[in-house]
Chain A
Amino acid sequence: MLIGRGRFVDDLPASGAVHVAFVRSPFAHADISRVDAAAARLESGVVAVFTGLESKDDLPSLPTAAADHWPLRLPLTPHRVRYVGEPVAMVVAGTKQAALSAAEAVRVDYEPLDAVVDPWAALEDSAPLLHPDFGPTNKFGEIHKVIGDPDRAFAAADRVVRSTVVVQRVAASPIEPRAIIVEPDLHGGTLTIWLSCQAPHTLRTWLSQILGMNEARLRIVAPDVGGGFGSKLNLYCDEVAVMWAARKLGRTLRWTETRTENLTAGVHARDQIHHAELAVGSDGRILGLRSHFVGDLGAYLHFFTPVVADLTIDTLTGNYDIPAVDIHLEKVFTNTMSIEALRGSGRAEATFVLERLIDEAAKVLDIDPPEMRRRNLVTPEQMPYKTPFGMVYRSGDYPALLARVVEMADYGGFRERQDARRREGRYIGIGFATYNLLCGFSPSGHDWNPMKQFPGHETALIRVDPHGSVRLISGLSPHGQGSDTTLAQVVADRLQVPYDDIAVEHGDTALVPYGGGTHGSRGAVVGGHAALLAADRVAEKANSVAAAMLEASAEDIVHEDGGFFVRGDPGGARLSWQAVAFEAHFLKGGPRFEPGLEATAFYDPPDVSFAFGANAAVVEVDIDTGKVTILDFYSVDDAGVVLNPAIVRGQIHGGIAQGIGQALHEEIVHDEAGQITTANFATYRLPTALEVPEIHTDMISTPSETPLGVRGVGESGTLASPAAIVNAVNDALRPFGVVLNRTPLRPSDIWEAIHPE
């Protein structure tokens, strides 16, 4: 990438490929009365125009992986559109320009229907009904969990804090838009798909069913992928339309979305509104937590849509010892794009709600915010600790993490500095939040496993070449997480082979055994252990080859400093790794063992993983403009054993930057008609280098109960950062009696709160 030789899908040559453009609905809810592609088909360079109306009996339907029933979703919609951007027709043409031009010539007549965009409104009986064939209301389902005796806790509480907490809708926004090339081979009946994606095998299995193909004839290749963050792990209408059309035409098709398409027809994330309450004693102990919240699903169910908000429920108590919980989630369809997985999904929302309630309770009780947390954090002495939702925390020192971030932020002197600034008419604030990252799911033995056909294991194939170089083929699908480096480190250590002698490959389902891809902070904790397990097996085989060569038994072989010798005879015969590899291939000493030096491992983790940490943000609020400047950001993270500090820090920085975007800048905004008014990067604003401050990090490493001792880290930065920032803003504005419980906090929102009419 540094020298411009990256191979992202749009960079790849594809000889003979023709191009695709989509015709998309401009309405959030409408019936299609007519589609006229005649003029488009006549335009020069056009190969074909497909419409949902004409092809509805031929198009495959797109399921969700997270529920047993779902409303019909076709790649091209025939009769009714339910979100702005829904594909209605596609043009295939010799050039991109010709495809775009012909797409403009497709005439679609719509009869607009009332649209509903607000999820609470969508629950009402009077709301427009999105899927009359699926159910009588827009409500898809609900979950209501009551643990302990929350009613008694709330009745007995000295104080109850109530807040409506809003986490806005955002978009993953990888800088590389989605891109696909589909190449059918008519002779072999194979289909090769180059796709910017995060889990090639998972998608292959689903797509083979959707396309009605033998999975052995379907190959998916994720080349270089320019970020995913959970959004490139899906069965998209437009991508499947390209696959379907390529097979129909028998030609190679390629399509790259525009940024506007990514923000409107790519999946969205977060979007929860909580009516939440916290019951506390005057000693600061949390007695109970209640929340009634709505999870907006969007108009259709994409891959994870039904269960994203479930993670909010299961992680709502975070690192805190909260005995009584009442959590009620209603899931509802609205005329918007689907809500899907995004780095930290479900858990970031939970952390925000919880940490805002804790700060509000601290204020009401007049307890210092870090102290309020200290009094409620699960302590090492309480471990193993079972949360109300059945998660078991076995290790980690949450109070130590909090104490360290408090120290790093120089909290001791902060209140004086804050007072001094206030006397000058300036308003600085500090905010804290802790997080617990549930990740590396789902192991086969774990209770929470709602996804169908979704691998929880990881795979690694290690293949040693005759002269000792090592190929590691991983089922991960990294796109910047540095897994190539960390996996190679694991294998280099275990096999005692130089790091530079290891080549790492991934992403091509023709090459890689069945793996799970990269998402959910599983790289080191699941992928790393698969690599270790495969390396163990290779080491064992190498040992037995060495044993045969040294005429000893395998138990007497020592593998040390990259060489093999007989125990008790270190000065005697010593074999190099290269010599063992050579003999393993060419058996010059005769038939003493099965040839070859490679092993495949499939690793099913024994349990999910937890990582945890604490953040502190120091902000200044300009009360005349409402602008928030983050002066400093501190993060203390426990990711277990750290295989590569720079890579781990990079993941934390990136997650925090996304959290800053969530806290202050980003929002997918719909108007009442369901139009997205933030449909490009000029209006959907990612933080630049001027919005992200210097981030100060430290790590505490509590090894996990796994051989490598690692935990997840990919999503860590996104969980507590919005809460720390919003808590800091509230702290800064305390003299004004302002309470802000939503993200994003725009300057105008802050100003209005300080200066009510």
Chain B
Amino acid sequence: MYPPDFDYEVAPTVEIAASLLSATPGAKVIAGGQSLIPLLRYRLARPSALVDIGRIADMRSIASRDGWVEIGALVTTAELSAAGPHVPALIRDASAVIADPQVRNLGTIGGNLAHADPQNDLPAVLVAGRGTVHVTGVGGSRGIPSDEFFTGPFGTNLNSTDIVTRIDLPSGVGAYEKFKRSAGDYGTGAVAVHLRLGIAGVIEQAGIAVSGIFGLATRALEAEDRLAGTYGELEDLAAAANAVASAGTAMDDERGSSRYKAALAVTLAHRALIRAIVRAREVAA
């Protein structure tokens, strides 16, 4: 319960944070701390220093653009879950089921993505939504497309001085369906669905990503292909959901066998797809 000692600096800007990270080997970033502090308490993380980016002023807003939304990296998951319709339903759904109210008050979208825990929820949202993660490091700023952001469980393409500043997510309809054994548990798995609709409701592009079951934010490519170009009729949704089972390899663990988890992925995909299509019809109506 007592973290090991470390140095600590508050960074007033992203640029200063990046240069502090560059100058201090073994330093880590802290934003909300909801993922990092539990590791510090168990002494599983022993950083030499923490660079606190939680006070940086200009990473806290949400801006609607024409065709996408820009979310500052320090926007909390509580703020996202309570946001209005200018924030896609997919991200609102997912934020609302993260952990519990207290954790959501401090946990940030930037932190949730950067930590890249397979059981986190926002990675699949990013991947399904084909979003972009904007980062700034000592080398400058760049935007990383979602399919290049994650490398694997707890792994991202962030360099040692990179700080996530903003997440851009295209507009569209979507839904997030998560399964937890109980409220205090991490998720057994979840499916994020993001649909870009065209004329008369044709699905121009489908994004389907699975949290947790197959590892970190796994795209269900076959399922996406099955849906693209259809109008999302029930048989299309069912077929796409079934295709999610083979999007990756599930592991046996205390939450269930790989067979159970694959079936769960199909169920969650099906439910998310139905909810997304219902929303699409409501928007159209």
Q: Which residues of A pack against B, CB within 8 Å?
A: 96-97, 100, 258, 624-627, 664-665, 669, 677-678, 681-683, 685-691, 746-748, 751-752, 755, 757
Q: Is B279 an interface residue (CB 8 A)?
A: no
CB atoms of B260 and A687 under 8 A apart: no
Cβ of B254 to closest chain A Cβ, rounded Å: 7
CB atoms of B183 and A688 under 8 A apart: yes
Checking B181, B183, B184 against A747 with a beta-carbon cut-off of 8 angstroms, the contacting residue is B181
Q: Is B120 an interface residue (CB 8 A)?
A: no
Given known contacts A100-B2, A625-B264, A757-B259, A665 and B254 CB-to-CB distance under 8 angstroms:
no
Q: Is B203 an interface residue (CB 8 A)?
A: no
Given known contacts A677-B254, A751-B256, A624 and B263 CB-to-CB distance under 8 angstroms:
yes
CB atoms of A690 and B183 under 8 A apart: yes
CB atoms of B260 and A748 under 8 A apart: yes
Q: Is B267 an interface residue (CB 8 A)?
A: yes
15 more CB-based (< 8 A) A-B contacts, given A625-B267, A685-B185, A752-B257:
A96-B2, A97-B2, A626-B260, A685-B182, A687-B182, A688-B184, A691-B182, A746-B256, A747-B256, A748-B255, A748-B257, A751-B260, A752-B256, A752-B259, A752-B260
Which residues of B have CB within 8 Å of A691? 182-183
Which residues of A have CB within 8 Å of B1? 258
Q: Is B231 an interface residue (CB 8 A)?
A: no
Cβ of B99 to closest chain A Cβ, rounded Å: 10
Cβ of B180 to closest chain A Cβ, rounded Å: 9
Which residues of A have CB within 8 Å of B68? none
Q: Which residue of A lies closest to B268 (CB)?
A: A625
Given known contacts A625-B264, A625-B267, A751-B263, A685 and B256 CB-to-CB distance under 8 angstroms:
no
Given known contacts A100-B2, A625-B267, A755-B263, A681 and B184 CB-to-CB distance under 8 angstroms:
yes
Given known contacts A100-B2, A677-B254, A682-B186, A746 and B181 CB-to-CB distance under 8 angstroms:
yes
Cβ of B100 to closest chain A Cβ, rounded Å: 8
Which residues of B have CB within 8 Å of A690? 182-183
A627 to B183 alpha-carbon distance, docked (Å): 12
Cβ of A212 to closest chain B Cβ, rounded Å: 34
Chain A-chain B contacts (Cβ-Cβ < 8 Å), number? 60
Checking B179, B185, B254 against A669 with a beta-carbon cut-off of 8 angstroms, the contacting residue is B254
Which residues of A have CB within 8 Å of B185? 682, 685
Which residues of A have CB within 8 Å of B2? 96-97, 100
B 158-213 contacts with A by CB, 8 A: 179, 181-186, 188
Which residues of B have CB within 8 Å of A686? 184
Which residues of A have CB within 8 Å of B254? 669, 677-678, 683
**Most chain-B Cβ atoms within 10 A of its Cβ — which of A624, A627, A677, A688?**
A624
Q: Can you name 16 A-B pairs with beta carbons within 8 Å?
A: A96-B2, A97-B2, A626-B260, A627-B181, A664-B182, A665-B182, A677-B254, A681-B184, A682-B186, A685-B184, A687-B182, A691-B182, A691-B183, A751-B256, A751-B260, A757-B259
Q: Which residue of B lies closest to A256 (CB)?
A: B1
CB atoms of A748 and B179 under 8 A apart: no
A683 to B42 alpha-carbon distance, docked (Å): 15
Which residues of B have CB within 8 Å of A687? 182
Q: Which residues of B pack against A, CB within 8 Å?
A: 1-2, 179, 181-186, 188, 254-257, 259-260, 263-264, 267
Cβ of B266 to closest chain A Cβ, rounded Å: 8
Cβ of A396 to closest chain B Cβ, rounded Å: 35
A752 to B258 alpha-carbon distance, docked (Å): 11
Q: Which residue of B lies closest to A691 (CB)?
A: B182
The 4 closest A-B pairs by CB, nearest first: A748-B256, A624-B267, A688-B183, A690-B183
A411 to B93 alpha-carbon distance, docked (Å): 37
Which residues of B have CB within 8 Å of A664? 182
Q: Which residue of A lies closest to B3 (CB)?
A: A97
Cβ of A681 to closest chain B Cβ, rounded Å: 7
A700 to B257 alpha-carbon distance, docked (Å): 46
Q: Which residue of B lies closest to A259 (CB)?
A: B1
Cβ of B101 to closest chain A Cβ, rounded Å: 11
A691 to B185 alpha-carbon distance, docked (Å): 12
Cβ of B191 to closest chain A Cβ, rounded Å: 12
A751 to B188 alpha-carbon distance, docked (Å): 14
A669 to B253 alpha-carbon distance, docked (Å): 12
Q: Which residue of B lies closest to A748 (CB)?
A: B256
Which residues of A have CB within 8 Å of B267? 624-625
Q: Which residue of A lies closest to B181 (CB)?
A: A747
CB atoms of A682 and B260 under 8 A apart: no
Q: Which residue of B lies closest to A690 (CB)?
A: B183
CB atoms of A682 and B259 under 8 A apart: no
Which residues of A have CB within 8 Å of B188? 747
A728 to B257 alpha-carbon distance, docked (Å): 24
Cβ of B120 to closest chain A Cβ, rounded Å: 14
A149 to B1 alpha-carbon distance, docked (Å): 58
Q: Which residue of B lies closest to A625 (CB)?
A: B179
A625 to B2 alpha-carbon distance, docked (Å): 38
A665 to B186 alpha-carbon distance, docked (Å): 13
Cβ of A200 to closest chain B Cβ, rounded Å: 27
Q: Which residue of B lies closest to A744 (CB)?
A: B181
Cβ of A139 to closest chain B Cβ, rounded Å: 30
Which residues of B have CB within 8 Å of A627? 179, 181
Which residues of A have CB within 8 Å of B263? 624, 751, 755
Q: Which residue of A lies closest to B188 (CB)?
A: A747
Cβ of B34 to closest chain A Cβ, rounded Å: 13
Cβ of A98 to closest chain B Cβ, rounded Å: 10
A707 to B183 alpha-carbon distance, docked (Å): 45
A678 to B186 alpha-carbon distance, docked (Å): 13
Cβ of A656 to closest chain B Cβ, rounded Å: 16
Q: Which residue of A lies closest to B259 (CB)?
A: A757
Q: Which residue of B lies closest to A99 (CB)?
A: B2
Cβ of A673 to closest chain B Cβ, rounded Å: 16
A79 to B184 alpha-carbon distance, docked (Å): 39
A258 to B41 alpha-carbon distance, docked (Å): 11
CB atoms of B184 and A682 under 8 A apart: yes
Q: Which residue of B lies closest to A678 (CB)?
A: B254
Q: Which residue of B lies closest to A749 (CB)?
A: B256
Which residues of B have CB within 8 Å of A751? 256, 260, 263-264
